[in-house]
C-alpha cells in the first residue's frame, strides 16, 4: 500500500512539474522580421514618420553587390534583366504603389506585397536587402551599373527622286 501511495505521489509530482509555464514569446517558424515601415498616408494631423535610411546609400561596392544579388536571387525572372518589368512591375520608373523611399522598397522586398511579390525577409538577410535597394535606386540614373543597351534609331528612308 505504501508503495502504491508513493507511486501515485510520484506520478502526481511529475504531472505538476509538466505544468510549468512555457515561454510564449517565441516567434513562429518563418516569421517575418519586424520591419514596421508605414505605407501610405498616416491618419491624423500631419504626422512625420522617421523612416530607416539605407546604410549603403552612395556605396559603389554595395551597388555592384546589389546587382549581383538581383541576378543571383532571380529578381530578373519577374522584374526583367535590368528591372524594366515583365511579370512583375518595372523598377526603373520612380512611381511606386507602396512608396519609393528606400525604406518602402526594403519593406516591399522583406514583407512582400499583394498580387505576386513574395516576402523575402525570412530568406534574405537584411544587409543583402539593403544592397538590393541600393541597386534598385540606381536604376535609370547615371550611377546604374550594366545599363541596358539602347538600340540605334532606324535609318530614315531616302525619298526617291523623280
Domain count along the chain? 1
143 assigned to some structural domain:
no
CA neighbor of 106 nearest in space, from 79, 137, 133, 84: 133
Question: Which pLDDT score, from 0 to 100, does residue 12 have?
Answer: 61
103 assigned to some structural domain:
yes
73 assigned to some structural domain:
yes
151 assigned to some structural domain:
no
Mean pLDDT for back-to-back runs of 10 residues, the chain (162 residues): 64 55 44 56 64 91 95 93 88 86 93 91 95 94 77 77 67
121 assigned to some structural domain:
yes
d(CA 88, CA 107): 16
d(CA 75, CA 67): 10
Question: Which pLDDT score, from 0 to 100, does residue 24 have?
Answer: 44
The CATH number for 103's domain is 1.10.760.10
Question: Which pLDDT score, from 0 to 100, does residue 132 have?
Answer: 96
0.75 surpassed by pTM: no
d(CA 64, CA 77): 19
53 assigned to some structural domain:
no
Here the cell at position 64 is 555592384
36 assigned to some structural domain:
no
3-state secondary structure of 117: strand
d(CA 143, CA 63): 9
State the residue range of the domain holding 94: 60-138
Amino acid at each position: 500500500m505504501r508503495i502504491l501511495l508513493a507511486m501515485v505521489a510520484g506520478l502526481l509530482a511529475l504531472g505538476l512539474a509538466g505544468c510549468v509555464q512555457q515561454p510564449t514569446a517565441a516567434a513562429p517558424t518563418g516569421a517575418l522580421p519586424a520591419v514596421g515601415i508605414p505605407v501610405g498616408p498616416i491618419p491624423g494631423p500631419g504626422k512625420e514618420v522617421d523612416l530607416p535610411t539605407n546604410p549603403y546609400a552612395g556605396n559603389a561596392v554595395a551597388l555592384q553587390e546589389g546587382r549581383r544579388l538581383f541576378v543571383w536571387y532571380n529578381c530578373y525572372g519577374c522584374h526583367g534583366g535590368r528591372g524594366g518589368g515583365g511579370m512583375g512591375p518595372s523598377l526603373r520608373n520612380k512611381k511606386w504603389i507602396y512608396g519609393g523611399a528606400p525604406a518602402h522598397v526594403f519593406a516591399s522586398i522583406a514583407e512582400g506585397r499583394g498580387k505576386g511579390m513574395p516576402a523575402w525577409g525570412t530568406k534574405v538577410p537584411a544587409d543583402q536587402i539593403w544592397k538590393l535597394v541600393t541597386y534598385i535606386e540606381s536604376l535609370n540614373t547615371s550611377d546604374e551599373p550594366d545599363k541596358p543597351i539602347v538600340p540605334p534609331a532606324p535609318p530614315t528612308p531616302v525619298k526617291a527622286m523623280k
